[in-house]
């Protein structure tokens, strides 16, 4: 799981009537209750995959999923559901899109420091540059520096094509992930809302149908 400066797990978007973030956060679809207090996005992959037909992308990361859930439990938190993801990311070094299977893990009964510690253990054990975490927070929380959105009807191939077509988005936002049933899951800093909304629209998403939640994101190495 790469850092946002190289390739990110995801991008997020909200409407910007003006250039300020405050205006963007006002113009958003309704959110809803978070399914978990926090999430961890991680993989055990350490190889670069550039072919979408590569058989390495067929893995369901089943063993990895069980192992990470045990790590979460062993460090005092409660593991919830885990979702298999198909990621498409932009590599500035390779100047091309890369692919990666990963998993999202719901985590409950955990605070900021505990979540960071668990993510650090996962990163170290699976030789990852970083692991992304997202803590769901009230919109007005001073710690809320990111948004998490979901949108239905996005295939990995569409995500790949949209990324290649938008030079600014691929350099600043990095990429995104979808579930196997075509649900986009995006996490992005509030500062990138204008660009991210444009990118989301280019994916063919009706912004009135997206689900938006606020929180704190962190890349833990």
Output the pLDDT for position 42: 97
pLDDT digits (tens, 9 = 90+) for 26-80: 335 545 678 899 999 999 999 999 998 999 999 999 999 999 999 999 999 999 9
- Across 92-205, the runs of DSSP E, i.e. the strands, are 96-108, 131-136, 146-152, 175-179, 183-189
Residue 195 has pLDDT above 90, yes or no: no
Residue with the bigger pLDDT between 75 and 2: it is: 75
What is the rounded (10 degree) CA torsion for 201, 206, 209, 212?
A: 10
What percentage of the chain reaches a pLDDT higher than 70?
A: 86
Structure confidence at residue 194 (pLDDT): 77
DSSP state of 20: S
Give CA–CA dist 221/213, Å, rounded.
Answer: 24
- Please give the residue that has the higher pLDDT: either 127 or 9: 127
Q: Is the model's pLDDT at 110 over the cut of 80? A: yes
Please, what is the average pLDDT of the chain?
85
Mean pLDDT, residues 154-172: 90
Q: Is the pLDDT of residue 188 over 90?
A: no
Do residues 133 and 77 touch, judged by C-beta distance below 8 A? no
- Mean per-residue pLDDT for 75-93? 94
Write down the pLDDT at residue 31.
59
Q: Tell me the torsion sign for CA atoms 133, 10, 7, 55.
A: positive
Q: Do residues 85 and 103 lie in contact, with contact meaning Cβ atoms separated by under 8 Å?
A: yes
**Is the confidence at residue 182, as pLDDT, over 70?**
yes
Residue 185 pLDDT exceeds 60: yes
* CB atoms inside a 10 Å sphere around CB 9: 31
Render 146-160 in DSSP notation, one character per residue: EEEEEEES--HHHHH
Q: What are phi and psi of 186, to 5 degrees?
A: -130, 135
Residue-wise pLDDT tens digits, 112-160: 999 999 999 999 999 999 999 999 999 899 999 998 878 999 999 899 9
Whether 13 shows a pLDDT value over 80: the answer reads: no
Percent of the chain with pLDDT over 90: 59
Q: What is the pLDDT of residue 74?
A: 98
Burial call 84-100: b when 16+ CB within 10 Å, e when fewer: bbbbbbbbeeeeebbbb
Using 50, 70 and 90 to split pLDDT, how confident is the model at 1?
A: low
- The predicted structure's pLDDT at residue 17: 31
């Amino acid at each position: 799981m790469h850092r946002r400066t190289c390739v990110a797990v995801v991008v997020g978007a909200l409407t910007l009537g003006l250039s300020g973030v405050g205006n963007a956060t006002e113009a958003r679809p309704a959110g809803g209750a978070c399914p978990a207090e926090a999430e961890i996005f991680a993989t055990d992959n350490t190889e670069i995959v550039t072919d979408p037909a590569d058989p390495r992308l067929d893995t369901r990361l089943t063993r990895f999923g069980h192992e990470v859930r045990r790590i979460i439990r062993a460090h005092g938190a409660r593991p919830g559901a885990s979702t298999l993801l198909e990621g498409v990311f932009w590599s500035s070094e390779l100047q091309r899109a890369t692919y990666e299977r990963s998993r999202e893990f719901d985590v409950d009964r955990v605070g900021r420091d505990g979540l960071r510690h668990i993510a650090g253990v996962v990163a170290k054990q699976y030789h990852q540059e970083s692991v992304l975490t997202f803590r769901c927070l009230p919109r007005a929380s001073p710690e809320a520096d990111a948004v998490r959105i979901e949108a239905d009807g996005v295939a990995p191939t569409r995500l790949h094509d949209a990324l290649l077509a938008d030079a600014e988005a691929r350099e600043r936002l990095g990429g995104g992930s979808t579930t196997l049933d075509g649900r986009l899951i995006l996490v992005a800093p509030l500062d990138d809302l204008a660009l991210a909304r444009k990118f989301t629209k280019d994916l063919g998403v009706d912004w009135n149908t997206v689900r938006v939640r606020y929180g704190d994101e962190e890349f833990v190495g």
